[in-house]
Structure 1
Amino acid sequence: MNDVDAMNCTALLLVDLQNDFLPGGALAVDRGDEVIPIANQLQPYFHLVVATQDFHPADHNSFASQHKGQCVGDVIEMNGHPQVLWPDHCVQNEVGSALASDLNQASIAQVFPKGTDKRIDSYSGFFDNGGLHSTGLGDYLLSKQVTDVFIVGLATDYCVRATALDSRRLGFRTWLIEDGCRGVDLKPGDCKAAIQEMEDAGVRTISSRQWLDDKSDATKDASRTEIATGKFLSLMQSGRWEYSHRKLASDVVVIVPMTRNNEWVFIEQYRESIGKRCIEFPAGLVGDVEGDADEASMDAVRRELMEETGFEAARIRHLGSASNSAGLTDEVTSIYLAEGLHRHGQGGGVDGELIQIHLVPRNEAAAWLDRRQNEGLNVAMSVYAGLWLAAR
């Protein structure tokens, strides 16, 4: 896996993860439902996610019901190509043709229907079985500058096989995530033979765990080099990407404080990077105190809350964690709700931060923030994120 570096553009291709191919469906693949959680787990780690969808007219010629005297599993000739006859399945606009309800679909950039011409089937996500009519998938991937296609889906010995072989023929480096596929095995050994055919054509097989472990290790990869450095930040390069890395901290915490009087505690300070004052929630770095590199996040929350506002909290709860600006930095921020506040100090920050503290009634916060913006101040995005998380 180490030859898929940051210069490659990867696409996860979800093949026919549809209701009719899952247990209880018209053409159920044994244990086909086991593929869905694997597909969901993989999606966040690819540049692009696309899907194919069997989408047949009700009178499609691959259906055994359209051939008197023929049965499911019989093989006939259709447009000069051998055709297995199937039960009616994935009929256009019926429930069976829909993508699986448990499949995370928000990240799917585009779905490519196939098998829409009643006269010929289309196992491949790229072409019909005659190889003449394109679904548009290949051109789409090329337009997105995709170099590597990773395939999961149903079924290994039919649509996955055909899709992988066409992907190789079109010049994409192609990977079969083997545990992310299940097969029909109409004849015993069909799946094993299909995988061997794919490997002989240059398709590489890996497991989902190999891919996920590789992505986890990527953040520690030696190819991520430091190209500039300062006292607090480094400019890093990974392939064609550049991003900032904070040198002296393990995490960032933002505290959303609520007083016993139902007031939000905002802070205000001048920020050099934007050249103006900014409304924020108290925040700071974990492990940036000299001699305390192993500081726990909760300890940092309590320390920063006291330093910047003078409050101590009776209750602290983690609300969520997310990247700040993934195109700019590898930094991740964790947001905490602090309640039951007692004042034990003046606050105001350390090392010349000159922080002002504002107690704003909960039901007046939106109007107060709008007013401060109209006065020319900046409101940090973490304020809106913190308020939203606290209100859930």
Structure 2
Amino acid sequence: MSRALLIVDVQNDFTEGGALAVAGGDDVASAVSDFLALHASEYDVIVASRDWHDAEGDNGGHFGEVPDFVDTWPVHCVAGTPGADYDPLLVTDAVTHHVHKGQGRPAYSMFEGATESGETVGAILTTAGVITADVVGIATDHCVRASALDAIAHGVRVRILTDLIAGVAPEPSTAALAELAHAGAELIASDAA
């Protein structure tokens, strides 16, 4: 029985000062690093995802000239730019797999991405025999939600570490957590993990 930690999109463009900054993003980056310092050895697999959008084009309609912040967004996390880098407060030494997603198309779930060698998150978890996964990162109401739902659909028992996530807005974040709980995710604080 293997365990995984899924770290979703803790990137400069999603933390304070970024193109799509989420309040508390830097705090999440720092807290995830602290959690890893204490608990990394408890996980067989640690996957970290990053939005990695193409510089040219609108990435399948993901970038909008007048974004609606529902389906279209300002330019963010362009591959190879500082905005796409991990937040410097996130220590990634323990990460076993780095996943890029959203190349030329919208992608919210880390399960839509792949490593540089082409491994998908689903394949990584299956190969490692992962049956439980803890999910942390940004943003609760978008990419954390989508990644956790896909993990559940993949047959993994999911726990959301509620003090290691940050959302775009309170109301949709609360709704996302309720949806995840109804789908079978356990909502717990990291000190209970």
Q: Do these two structures clear the TM 0.5 threshold for a shared fold by scoring above it?
A: yes
Deviations 1:141-200 (A, max 9, x none): 111111111000000000000000000000001110011000012xx5101110000011
In the alignment, the residues of structure 1 paired with residue 69 and residue 48 of structure 2 have an alpha-carbon distance, to the nearest angstrom, of: 29
How far apart are residue 47 of structure 1 and its match? 2.6
In the alignment, the residues of structure 2 paired with residue 42 and residue 48 of structure 1 have an alpha-carbon distance, to the nearest angstrom, of: 15
In the alignment, the residues of structure 1 paired with residue 146 and residue 33 of structure 2 have an alpha-carbon distance, to the nearest angstrom, of: 23
In the alignment, the residues of structure 2 paired with residue 42 and residue 179 of structure 1 have an alpha-carbon distance, to the nearest angstrom, of: 11
In the alignment, the residues of structure 1 paired with residue 27 and residue 2 of structure 2 have an alpha-carbon distance, to the nearest angstrom, of: 27
- Answer whether contact 2:44 2:128 (CA < 8 A) is retained: no
In the alignment, the residues of structure 2 paired with residue 105 and residue 205 of structure 1 have an alpha-carbon distance, to the nearest angstrom, of: 24
What is aligned with 2:191? 209
How far apart are residue 72 of structure 1 and its match? 2.2
Deviations 1:9-65 (A, max 9, x none): 111110001111010001101111111122112222423211011000022221113
- Answer whether contact 1:20 1:97 (CA < 8 A) is retained: yes
Match among 13, 24, 42 for residue 17 of structure 2: 24
Alignment of 1:1-80 (within 5 A): 8-43=1-36, 44=40, 45-58=42-55, 59=57, 60=59, 61-65=61-65, 71-73=66-68, 75=70
What is aligned with 1:165? 149
In the alignment, the residues of structure 1 paired with residue 75 and residue 69 of structure 2 have an alpha-carbon distance, to the nearest angstrom, of: 14
Paired residue type of 2:91? N
Q: Which runs of 5+ in 2 are unaligned?
A: none
Secondary structure, aligned partner of 2:137: strand
- Answer whether contact 1:150 1:174 (CA < 8 A) is retained: yes
In the alignment, the residues of structure 2 paired with residue 37 and residue 74 of structure 1 have an alpha-carbon distance, to the nearest angstrom, of: 26
- Answer whether contact 2:109 2:143 (CA < 8 A) is retained: yes
What is aligned with 1:98? 85
Cα distance change of structure 1 residues 42 and 74 upon mapping to structure 2, 3 Å threshold:
closer
Equivalences, count: 182
How far apart are residue 135 of structure 1 and its match? 6.7
Paired residue type of 2:112? F
Query: TM-score, normalised to structure 2's length?
Result: 0.89
Alignment of 1:357-372 (within 5 A): none
- Answer whether contact 2:3 2:133 (CA < 8 A) is retained: yes
In the alignment, the residues of structure 1 paired with residue 158 and residue 69 of structure 2 have an alpha-carbon distance, to the nearest angstrom, of: 31
Query: TM-score, normalised to structure 1's length?
Result: 0.45
How far apart are residue 74 of structure 1 and its match? 5.4
Identity of aligned residues (%): 36
- Answer whether contact 1:125 1:135 (CA < 8 A) is retained: no
In the alignment, the residues of structure 1 paired with residue 139 and residue 69 of structure 2 have an alpha-carbon distance, to the nearest angstrom, of: 18
**Higher strand residue share:** 1
What is aligned with 1:189? 171
Structure number with greater Rg is: 1
- Answer whether contact 1:127 1:135 (CA < 8 A) is retained: no
Paired residue type of 2:139? A
Secondary structure, aligned partner of 1:164: helix
Paired residue type of 1:208? S
- Answer whether contact 1:157 1:190 (CA < 8 A) is retained: yes
Deviations 1:301-321 (A, max 9, x none): xxxxxxxxxxxxxxxxxxxxx
- Answer whether contact 1:55 1:97 (CA < 8 A) is retained: yes
Q: CA RMSD in A?
A: 1.6
What is aligned with 1:126? 111
How far apart are residue 208 of structure 1 and its match? 0.8
Where relative contact order (Cα < 8 A, 6+ residues apart) is larger, the structure is: 2
